[in-house]
Amino acid sequence: MTQTNETNCILARDCAHAGSPAKCTDRCPHFAQLHSATGRHTRAGLPAKYALTTLADAPPRADQPEVYGAIDRVVASFSRQFDAKPAIKSLYLFSAEPGTGKTTTASGLLNAYLTAHYVGSLKRGQTPKERPVFFLDVNEWQTHYNRYTRPGVPDWRKEEAADVYYAWLARAKVADFAVLDDIGVRGASEAFRGDLHDIINARVAAEKPTVYTSNIPFADLAGLYDARLADRVRDQCLEAPFKGQSKRGRR
């Protein structure tokens, strides 16, 4: 029996050939464009746990109906990326508790934008961009920073970590759509926080839609960065407070 790819492709929900033994395979050109080793989805940086998350079936939808109402309205505006209509709103996903669904939701948003970009580009006779989206796990990024700045680390490992660190910095600044996961990092060096500030400032200045997840309330953002940047982020964002306690390990 031929193995089909409808459970391994972010286009499956909107594809007429999903589940077809003849067409829903690794040979599908659209699957390759997105999910091959150099595909647009593969290079987006999504954590494997959330790679195929969609907003339609994301567990937080049932727990966070108010948040998902606002999110659905933002997703409906993703077609604006192709014209001169008002900029797409950014989102600030907040909860003091971990495990309430912020990262899951942010991953679903990234997949929704990438799908809208890929399908929308083809419908308009355009070639989809190679790297339109990027997911930056700020804690993992900080690990690379610590590895190349910490004394006693071998030079070859420092160079490797620095290469990854600055590559992610560059991508996070220029991607058309980005997730900055867990921007409320504490205990970070001033230099690291300065680089994160640089990313946020570049995206705000270019009015690029961004999903921020954080465990600090929006009102405290100025204390981590500066009041001017916090105000500019606020102007472009919808704040989406997640309610309840952690659901990790309960599903």
pLDDT score of 251 more than 80: no
| pLDDT at 3 (0 to 100) | 78
Report the pLDDT averaged over residues 145-167.
Answer: 92
| pLDDT at 246 (0 to 100) | 60
pTM for this one?
A: 0.92
Count CA atoms closer than 13 A to 1's CA, side-chain side: 5
pLDDT score of 1 more than 60: no
Report the pLDDT averaged over residues 218-244.
Answer: 83
Residue with tokens 């290079």: 43
Q: Which amino acid is at 145?
A: Y
pLDDT band at 152 (very low <50, low <70, confident <90, very high): confident
Residue with tokens 């954080």: 214
| Mean pLDDT, the chain, whole residue set | 90
pLDDT score of 79 more than 80: yes
Report the pLDDT averaged over residues 38-63.
Answer: 94
- Give per-residue burial for 31-63: e unless 16+ CB within 10 Å, then b: bebbbeeeebbebbbbeeebbbbebeebebbee
Beta-bridge partner residues of 211: 91, 179
Give the three-state DSSP class for 95. coil
Parallel/antiparallel/unpaired status of strands 210-214 and 237-241: unpaired
Rounded to an integer, what distance in angstroms lies between the CA atom of residue 197 and that of residue 180?
11
Least-confidence region, from 8-17, 166-175, 238-247: 238-247
| pLDDT at 147 (0 to 100) | 92
Q: Which domains are delineated in the chain? A: 1-36 (no CATH), 41-241 (3.40.50.300)
Rounded to an integer, what distance in angstroms lies between the CA atom of residue 247 and that of residue 251?
7
pLDDT score of 143 more than 80: yes
Listed ranges 21-25, 64-68, 168-172; the one with the highest mean pLDDT:
168-172
Report the pLDDT averaged over residues 172-185.
Answer: 93
Report the pLDDT averaged over residues 97-109.
Answer: 91
| pLDDT at 250 (0 to 100) | 42
pLDDT score of 244 more than 70: no
